[in-house]
Chains A and B, each alone.
Chain A
Amino acid sequence: MSESLLEVSDLRVDFRHDGRIVRAVDRLTYSVARGQTVAVIGESGSGKTVSSRAIMGLLPQTAKVTGSIRFDDVEMVGLPEKAMRGHRGCGVAMVFQDPTRSLNPTMRIGAQIREAIQTHEKASRGAAHDRALELLELVRLPAAKERLEQYPHQLSGGMRQRVMIAIALAASPKLLIADEATTALDVTTQAQIMELLRDLQQRLGMALIMISHDLGLAASFADEVVVMYAGRAVERAPTRMLFSHVRMPYTRALLDAIPRLESASHAPLAAVPGQPPNMALREPGCPFTPRCPNSTDQCRSHAPAFEEHEPGHLWACWHPCADGVRL
């Protein structure tokens, strides 16, 4: 048995759009150890959500997935739907951004959690009810007993997200993927949900993949960070190493564009120009070239490989940033 719980290697996901092939994920490679927290960071269209759905086997039929996703020593790519179902839930579970749309508005909370429990194990109604209550208490939903009888609209956004986490935990998954799970929540609620996830992860020995656009959140909660741009991983390192030695100019740009509490009011933000590339037009070079302050002709013609340049620290750039350099 290997060290890693999840090993994604050379993953590619292609969609067909207007007769052209759009490569949403391109040669993505990373791994997650048991009990580890990995943050996958990127903007809209960076491929972070598509790659996580590939792990869950939740991509539409039209998506062409190649490469390898090994979970617990089982190859997921090409796995028949029936086997995939067994893996979903008890192997990997997922929590999405919008709890309102993930919950059934016409079903009581208790029934929805029971459904998740009974999908994975043979349990009597009474046993499932008890387990549902236990799960709601585990996610620290106040007045858990009464909530079982309530409908989603009677709960606040933060409470609904706790219910979603309870459902995700129903079959004791080994890996939980939180896809922008706190983005739609208020900042104080976000802090509470993140603390809850961290606590659950430690207590249950679960691995966690946080999909997010927020490097700040990654800095506070992840062991390792993978930064994605235009479908590719562009930088990857243990969290502290990444933040103290940022190499990829794109990561640098992301960090510099975050407003800081320490900086003075009206101080202009370091903003790189332009916008992410059109994924249907596949240029040969590095996709960040048109927006990159370090770019040269070499970047336009040849894409740099994503390689380990320092122990544990991988990046894909011909002209990485030196320590302490801001854009």
Chain B
Amino acid sequence: MCGRGEAVSTGEPLLDVRNLVQEFEVRAQGGVRSGVVQAVSDVSFTLAKGETLGLVGETGSGKSTLARAILQAPRPKAGEVLFEGTDLVKLRGRELLRARRQMQMVFQDPFGSLDPKWSVARIVEEPLTAFHTAARAERRRRVTEVLDRVGLDPERYAGRRPRSLSGGQAQRVAIARALALDPALIIYDEAVSSLDVLIRAQVLNLLERLRAELSLTYLFIAHDLALVKQVSDRVAVMYLGKLVEIGPAESLYREPLHPYTVALLASIPNPDPTAPRAPVTNTITGEPPSPIDPPSGCRFRTRCPRAQDVCAAEEPRLRRLADGHFAACHFPVSEEAPAPAAREPARLAGGRHDAAAPD
């Protein structure tokens, strides 16, 4: 039942997000429309089978909204979400439900996402019941199996309520529930962010083990860049609804191209007191502007140490600057990057390594 048995990564995209847009109306008193929050603006990327894409950005950057738009909850304003070649945006009713079975999400606060009155067994069984997957005995067997997989002894934990669990245990229950339907894709939205350091390391190692054992594909959302690197093959950076950089984890961390990524990396406290401090020029001040009225041109320009006039006038498109490594910046930080004049249009944004991908 579990184990898809395929090779880890075939390069064929499991998920292909194209020009995704999500907006929310803001209404002032009396219901008068006063503005539109541009939460996700024209975001494109692919996710290969068996791959983990890390998604980083600060509060309000649109990472959670993007994840929800992928799941069609709520539906995006524009764009396509191709899952195994089928556009989820066009699916309705039963077809959408069937596709959603393949996609599960784990949230930050396990206690907020588990019904406090239900037993662990009932919580994990619920998706199986909702999708009428199998007879009761079979469902019970599956519950035991997934609890075992996430490192919770079914005999000890099946009958317990969330209240009697620690944060780490509750998050394991949430992961077991996500695994119950044998999904292809799991989206983790800050799923380990509120756990204590030692428990977080245990859960991260569990996620890695599950991914290898079950050939899962992950979209891993977090604000902690070091944490994201730990689990990701590729990393995408969002700022104010825009994808500003995406590339292989190793090269993105070694040679960040977007000044915002550089600033994020410079802000991480180093657990080595003898390490040199990040140069002040790399850090940024202030806070992101409002997504209701984002700056013209490049949305990061108001905080960017490298900004020039062109940044206000012209929006930088995501362009390829190194192997599989894309950034949306007129003045990328790498010296080897081509000069701004030699820009190439990068319509196929987001590290689509295989231009001739099937479907």
Chain A interface residues toward B at CB < 8 A? 43-44, 142, 156-159, 186-192, 194, 213-217, 219-221, 239-240, 243-244, 253-261, 263-273, 275, 291
Q: At the interface with chain A, which of B36-44, B72-80, B271-279, B312-320?
A: B271-279
Separation in Å of the B282 CB from the closest CB of chain A?
11
Whether B197 lies near A213 (C-beta < 8 A) is yes
Best-surrounded residue of A44, A187, A240, A261 (most CB of chain B within 10 A): A187
Complex partner residue of B196 from A213, A220, A244, A270, CB under 8 angstroms: A213
Whether B283 lies near A188 (C-beta < 8 A) is yes
| Residue B229 lies at the interface, judged by CB distance under 8 Å to chain A | yes
Separation in Å of the B235 CB from the closest CB of chain A?
9
Q: Which partner residue on chain B sits nearest A42 by CB separation?
A: B196
Complex partner residue of B285 from A192, A240, A273, CB under 8 angstroms: A192
Q: For the complex, give the distance between the alpha carbons of A107 and B136 in Å.
A: 56
Contact residues in A for B198 (Cβ distance below 8 Å) = 43, 253-254, 257, 271-272, 291
Whether B250 lies near A264 (C-beta < 8 A) is yes
Best-surrounded residue of A220, A273, A291 (most CB of chain B within 10 A): A220
Whether A43 lies near B196 (C-beta < 8 A) is yes
Contact residues in A for B263 (Cβ distance below 8 Å) = 188
Whether B231 lies near A219 (C-beta < 8 A) is no
Complex partner residue of B229 from A142, A244, A261, A291, CB under 8 angstroms: A261
Separation in Å of the A185 CB from the closest CB of chain B?
8
Whether A255 lies near B271 (C-beta < 8 A) is yes
Contact residues in B for A269 (Cβ distance below 8 Å) = 201, 204-205, 230
Contact residues in B for A254 (Cβ distance below 8 Å) = 197-198
Interface string of B248-279 (1 = CB under 8 A from A): 01100100000000011111111111100100
Q: For the complex, give the distance between the alpha carbons of A298 and B330 in Å.
A: 64
Q: At the interface with chain A, which of B9-17, B112-120, B219-227, B342-350?
A: B219-227
| Residue B168 lies at the interface, judged by CB distance under 8 Å to chain A | yes
| Residue B86 lies at the interface, judged by CB distance under 8 Å to chain A | no
Decide: A265 near B229, CB < 8 A? Known: A43-B198, A253-B198. Answer: yes
Separation in Å of the A264 CB from the closest CB of chain B?
7
Contact residues in B for A159 (Cβ distance below 8 Å) = 287
List the 9 shortest-distance A-B pairs measured between CB atoms, nearest first.
A257-B201, A271-B201, A186-B58, A43-B196, A216-B269, A259-B230, A191-B267, A216-B271, A269-B201
| Residue B167 lies at the interface, judged by CB distance under 8 Å to chain A | yes
Contact residues in A for B161 (Cβ distance below 8 Å) = none
Q: For the complex, give the distance between the alpha carbons of A213 and B208 in Å.
A: 24
Contact residues in B for A213 (Cβ distance below 8 Å) = 196-197
Decide: A265 near B273, CB < 8 A? Known: A187-B267, A191-B267, A213-B197. Answer: no
Q: For the complex, give the distance between the alpha carbons of A269 and B202 in Å.
A: 8
Q: For the complex, give the distance between the alpha carbons of A216 and B273 in Å.
A: 8
Interface string of B166-196 (1 = CB under 8 A from A): 1110000000000000000000000000001
Q: For the complex, give the distance between the alpha carbons of A239 and B284 in Å.
A: 27
Whether B270 lies near A219 (C-beta < 8 A) is yes
Contact residues in B for A258 (Cβ distance below 8 Å) = 197, 226, 271
Q: For the complex, give the distance between the alpha carbons of A304 and B57 in Å.
A: 44
Decide: A257 near B58, CB < 8 A? Known: A216-B268, A216-B270. Answer: no
Separation in Å of the A88 CB from the closest CB of chain B?
29
Decide: A186 near B223, CB < 8 A? Known: A239-B273, A254-B197, A259-B204. Answer: yes
Decide: A188 near B249, CB < 8 A? Known: A216-B268, A257-B197, A261-B265. Answer: no
Contact residues in B for A244 (Cβ distance below 8 Å) = 274
Chain B interface residues toward A at CB < 8 A? 58-59, 166-168, 196-202, 204-205, 208, 223-227, 229-233, 249-250, 253, 263-274, 277, 283-287
Decide: A220 near B197, CB < 8 A? Known: A159-B287, A265-B230, A268-B208. Answer: no
Q: Which partner residue on chain B sits nearest A184 by CB separation?
A: B59
Q: For the complex, give the distance between the alpha carbons of A234 and B59 in Å.
A: 35
Contact residues in A for B227 (Cβ distance below 8 Å) = 259
Q: Which partner residue on chain B sits nearest A212 by CB separation?
A: B269
Separation in Å of the A275 CB from the closest CB of chain B?
6
Decide: A219 near B271, CB < 8 A? Known: A261-B265, A265-B229, A265-B250. Answer: yes
Separation in Å of the B270 CB from the closest CB of chain A?
6
Whether A220 lies near B270 (C-beta < 8 A) is yes
Contact residues in A for B224 (Cβ distance below 8 Å) = 187, 259
Complex partner residue of B59 from A157, A256, A268, CB under 8 angstroms: A157
Contact residues in A for B287 (Cβ distance below 8 Å) = 156, 158-159, 189
Provide 30 A-B residue pairs closer than 8 Å at the C-beta atoms, listed in order of the A residue: A43-B199, A142-B286, A186-B223, A187-B58, A187-B223, A187-B225, A187-B268, A188-B263, A190-B267, A190-B269, A191-B283, A192-B285, A213-B196, A216-B271, A220-B270, A243-B271, A256-B201, A257-B201, A259-B204, A259-B224, A259-B230, A261-B225, A265-B232, A265-B233, A266-B230, A266-B233, A269-B204, A271-B198, A271-B205, A291-B198
Whether B202 lies near A273 (C-beta < 8 A) is yes
Contact residues in B for A214 (Cβ distance below 8 Å) = 269
Separation in Å of the B180 CB from the closest CB of chain A?
24
Separation in Å of the A105 CB from the closest CB of chain B?
18
Whether A261 lies near B253 (C-beta < 8 A) is yes
| Given pairs A43-B196, A254-B197, A271-B205, 7 additional interface contacts (CB within 8 A) | A43-B197, A156-B287, A159-B287, A187-B58, A220-B270, A243-B274, A255-B271
Contact residues in A for B58 (Cβ distance below 8 Å) = 186-189
Q: Which partner residue on chain B sits nearest A195 by CB separation?
A: B283
Contact residues in B for A275 (Cβ distance below 8 Å) = 166, 168, 199
Q: For the complex, give the distance between the alpha carbons of A263 and B53 in Å.
A: 17
